[in-house]
Structure formats: C-alpha cells, structure tokens
Amino acid sequence: MDAAHLNIFWFLSLLVPATIMFGATYFQRRWILVLGILFSLSATYVLCNVAVQKKWDIRIENAKTGQELENATADGANIVFTAFLFAPLESVTYTWLWSVVGCRTWRNIKKKGAVSET
C-alpha cells in the first residue's frame, strides 16, 4: 500500500498544476493568474519533494538485510538534487506549459462561442 502513496504524490504533481492553471486562465484576470502561478509553483514543488521523500522512505522500510539498508540509504543526493534542481525545474515547466495550454484552450472556446452566437 505504501507504493500507492508514492504514485499518488507523483500523479498529483502532474495533475495539480494543470488543474490550477486551467482554473486561473479561465477567469482572464491578471491577479488571479499571478495567484494561480504562485500556488501552482509552490504546490508542484512540494508534491515533487514529497514523492521523492516517500520513495526513499519506502526503500528504507523494505530493506531487510544490512546490505539492502546500506543500498537504500546510499544515494541521499537524489533528495538534494530533487529539492534544488528537479522540483523547481518541474514546477516552472508544468506551470508554464499548463498556463499556455489553458490560455489557448479558453481563447478557442470563447471564439467558437462567439462565432456560433452570430
């Protein structure tokens, strides 16, 4: 069951920025967009770090022998790289991607709605 928690955090780190940015771009107000960006960046960063931390906790919990425990604790640099490189990069990338997709999607929907009304 612990492996499912890892998947939940990882999937949430993909789903949360999409949901937040689609919602923020829907309203087309600058202050809502800025709040959405800030919230998306922070939520994605936290979820990425929690997912990696959970992965390492699971590896340590599942270690039975001394060799397995040594292997499970040997690569702590993964957590540091995630905290300082991968999570910020993923946060910025996903937030930017979903804001662009959201803006284009809502713009196209509104254009189609305006054309169908005339």
Q: What per-residue confidence (pLDDT) applies to 55? A: 83
Q: What per-residue confidence (pLDDT) applies to 48? A: 94
Q: What per-residue confidence (pLDDT) applies to 113? A: 82
Report residue 68: phi and psi, to 5°.
Answer: -65, -40
Directed axis angle between helix 66-73 and helix 30-62, to 10°? 160
pTM assigned to the model: 0.86
Q: What per-residue confidence (pLDDT) applies to 57? A: 83
Q: What per-residue confidence (pLDDT) applies to 116? A: 79
Q: Which positions of the chain have pLDDT values less than 70? A: 1-6, 118
Q: What per-residue confidence (pLDDT) applies to 21? A: 97
* pLDDT tens-digit map of 13-30: 999 999 999 999 999 899
Q: What per-residue confidence (pLDDT) applies to 61? A: 83
